[in-house]
Amino acid sequence: MKTKLILLYGGKSAEHEVSLQTALSVINALDLNKFEALPVYITNDGDWIQGPEITHQLDFSDQLRFSPEEQLRLAEKEDEVSSGFLISPADVTEEQENTVVFPLLHGPNGEDGTVQGLLEVLNLPYVGNGVLASAAAMDKIVMKKVFADAGIPQLPAVAVRSIDWKNFREEMVADMEEALTYPMFVKPANLGSSVGISKAENRDELYQAMDEAFLYDRRVVVEQGVVAREIEMAVLGNDTPACSVPGEILPKGSKAVFYDYKAKYQDNDTTLVIPAEVSEEVENKLKEYAIQAFLGLDASGLVRADFFVTEQDEIFLNEVNTMPGFTPVSMYPLLWQASGISYSQLIEQLVELGLERHEAKNQLKYRLDD
């Protein structure tokens, strides 16, 4: 019997388009002899729209944009996209037997534990991280506290609330300049894919970067910049996770100042080097810290851990991502491909890990014996 795989994608998030790219890639990699693929598109407004079962590969991510009002015709294509129909989130539980949900959502309202909490309440097995790991890793301020408690080295950082920035911006900047040196990186606390992140080389740029970041979140983290290589590790598993080989992000052109959203998804202005050239000692330390971070968050399924490595081989954990970019050319799948697991195999393993975690949860007692 096929496993029914409910694919959640889109989402009420600035990373909506990234999620569509991920969904297209996963759908086209599925073995449809093993999986019954049911797409559920979450619009920018938060509506859930179920589309028809996927029975063949798709050409464009726009084929996954379902509308309950009208048929959508793709440019220069004769095929029409199904209209789909509005559903309640609870409707995904109509047939639970042999059903797994695969949240392919990036950013708030999907990667941050909100959808995971819904699926927990509905008692549905799902792929990837649970509520705690998703929420803690999505919040860069909370995440840093978890890693500090685990003793994982990080760069200095300052957290700022929007109300304090509005009323005491001069004092806030003075605090940042006392604790940190330029360049500084300014990030919304609860976004991924480098959305809203800016590099500030001076005070004027810092003011601009803060205003930009507060467009996306009410809390912002300002981090110390460092001259270092960007090395990433992929972690896979549940209670006994495994780590991939390391990969490095290199900017292609002189204009690239860091791996921002435009470089990741629009310009193709970076090169991924896999495996990264690091010493055995550094690689072992990266794996140790990546697994410590995974276990410290009580993660499950998948995590990508992003590090800085200096010329002196100092290692700093930058952040982790509980739903990293997941197209065939994204770092996480490529790291596992270089480690011996293909993209299709990776998807199947993640589904198995989701079922494993759900079964373990259902073995717990939920009532006291009379």
Enumerate the active-site residues: 15, 193, 330
Angle at 336 between CA 330 and CA 340, to 5 degrees: 140
Does 193 show up as a binding residue in the annotation?
A: yes
Angle at 100 between CA 234 and CA 58, to 5 degrees: 75
Does 205 show up as a binding residue in the annotation?
A: no
Residue type, 182: Y
Angle at 34 between CA 332 and CA 338, to 5 degrees: 25
Contact partners, residue 147, CB within 8 Å, separation at least 6: 154, 293, 296, 317
Q: Output the six-digit token pair for 141.
A: 């301020």
Helix (H) or strand (E) run with residue 303 in it: strand 301-309
Burial of 192 (0-12, 13-18, 19+ CB in 10 A): buried
Does 187 show up as a binding residue in the annotation?
A: yes
- The span from the CA of 338 to the CA of 255, in Å, is 29
- The span from the CA of 108 to the CA of 29, in Å, is 26
The torsion of the CA quartet 265, 266, 271, 275, rounded to 10 degrees, works out to: 10
Angle at 273 between CA 267 and CA 277, to 5 degrees: 150
Residue type, 297: L
- The span from the CA of 354 to the CA of 102, in Å, is 9
Does 339 show up as a binding residue in the annotation?
A: no
Does 306 show up as a binding residue in the annotation?
A: yes
3-state DSSP assignment of residue 9: strand
Does 185 show up as a binding residue in the annotation?
A: yes
Does 321 show up as a binding residue in the annotation?
A: yes
Does 142 show up as a binding residue in the annotation?
A: no
Contact partners, residue 41, CB within 8 Å, separation at least 6: 9, 10, 48, 49, 50, 51, 64, 65, 66, 84
Does 281 show up as a binding residue in the annotation?
A: no
List, as one string, the DSSP characters of 333-348.
HHHHHHTT--HHHHHH
- The span from the CA of 256 to the CA of 361, in Å, is 45
Q: Output the six-digit token pair for 62.
A: 């726009």
Does 229 show up as a binding residue in the annotation?
A: yes
Does 225 show up as a binding residue in the annotation?
A: yes
Does 230 show up as a binding residue in the annotation?
A: yes
Does 194 show up as a binding residue in the annotation?
A: yes
Binding residues for ATP: 140, 185-187, 193-194, 223-230, 318-319
Binding residues: 140, 185-187, 193-194, 223-230, 306, 318-319, 321
Binding residues for Mg(2+): 306, 319, 321
